[in-house]
Structure 1
Amino acid sequence: MNGSINKIILIGNLGDDVKMHHFDNQNTLGRFPVATSESYLKKDTNERVTKTEWHTIVVRNRLAEICEKYIKKGDKVYIEGSLRNRKWDDNGTTRYTTEIYAESVEFLTPKNSNSTKDNDLPF
């Protein structure tokens, strides 16, 4: 195969509200953590074990604004995106992180039908 694929699909819950960063050139970036969990039964004890992984999600521009407005800590989301590694200097120490750059975010938590916030949904 000549090409390659960098595709991530997650369904999980927000661990915090979207944190926004605004830049001089009118670009916007939002970040939020999403938790995904898997569970299994231990064969020897029949005990259920749950393992939770935390993922940093990055959304940009219009998608960031929509996420900031309509999702909050605890909400369930479906995310499609790509994995990106980045490094930065922290007072002389090189730091590394892995993030998921979201291309689409679907809100899976039902909203209250009486909410006026829902009337502003762009879709």
Structure 2
Amino acid sequence: MNSVVLIGRLTRDPELRFIAGSGRAVANFTLAVNKNLSKEKKREFEEKGIATADFIRIVVWGKQAENCANYLSKGRLVAINGYISTSSYKTNTGETRYSTDILANNVEFLEWKDKKTKKDDFSYGAEPDNFQSVEDDDIPF
């Protein structure tokens, strides 16, 4: 079984391109996923200059790729469900290079903010100044 679930933050804005001939959209971005470290271990790693996160390349296809490019940006928290894909290619010098990517089947946006203004898109109703306190005796349950 080849199944991956990741939660992390984008290290850069998604790059969107369209495949020549088919016009199919594909987006690429890198996700920073924190390693499962205790506070002490994390502090120790940081003091030694050792990375406390893994940086994983993500590839998204189709309409979902367009949505990622339109609504995600650097620093945004997302959840990815997909699978590992490995490939290789030859460089101009004949050297073989290997690549490991996560091909995303599903991208869940875990933070909603306006890409341009970086403000929240959602509202909970009244502003905090308009809230009135409620006594426990007033609650019917």
- Structure 2 length-normalised TM: 0.70
Identity %: 32
CA offsets 1:38-65 (integer angstroms, 9 cap, x no match) = 22224xxx95546210100000011100
Provide structure 1 residue ranges, at least 5 long, that are not aligned to the other structure.
115-123
Determine helix, strand or coil for the equivalent of 1:101: strand
Structure (1 or 2) with the greater helix fraction: 2
CA offsets 1:48-106 (integer angstroms, 9 cap, x no match) = 54621010000001110010000000000000000000111221211101000000001
Determine helix, strand or coil for the equivalent of 1:66: helix
Give me the whole-angstrom Cα distance separating, in 2, the residues matched to 1:27 and 1:94.
28
Larger Rg: 2
Q: Which residue of 2 aligns with 1:33?
A: 30
Q: Which residue of 1 aligns with 2:130?
A: none
Give me the whole-angstrom Cα distance separating, in 2, the residues matched to 1:47 and 1:65.
38
Q: Which residue of 1 aligns with 2:77?
A: 76
Determine helix, strand or coil for the equivalent of 1:16: coil
Q: Which residue of 2 aligns with 1:13?
A: 9
Structure (1 or 2) with the greater strand fraction: 1
Provide structure 2 residue ranges, at least 5 long, that are not aligned to the other structure.
47-51, 114-119, 123-141
Q: Which residue of 2 aligns with 1:113?
A: 121
Q: Which residue of 2 aligns with 1:102?
A: 104
Give me the whole-angstrom Cα distance separating, in 2, the residues matched to 1:48 and 1:37.
15
Give me the whole-angstrom Cα distance separating, in 2, the residues matched to 1:9 and 1:113.
26
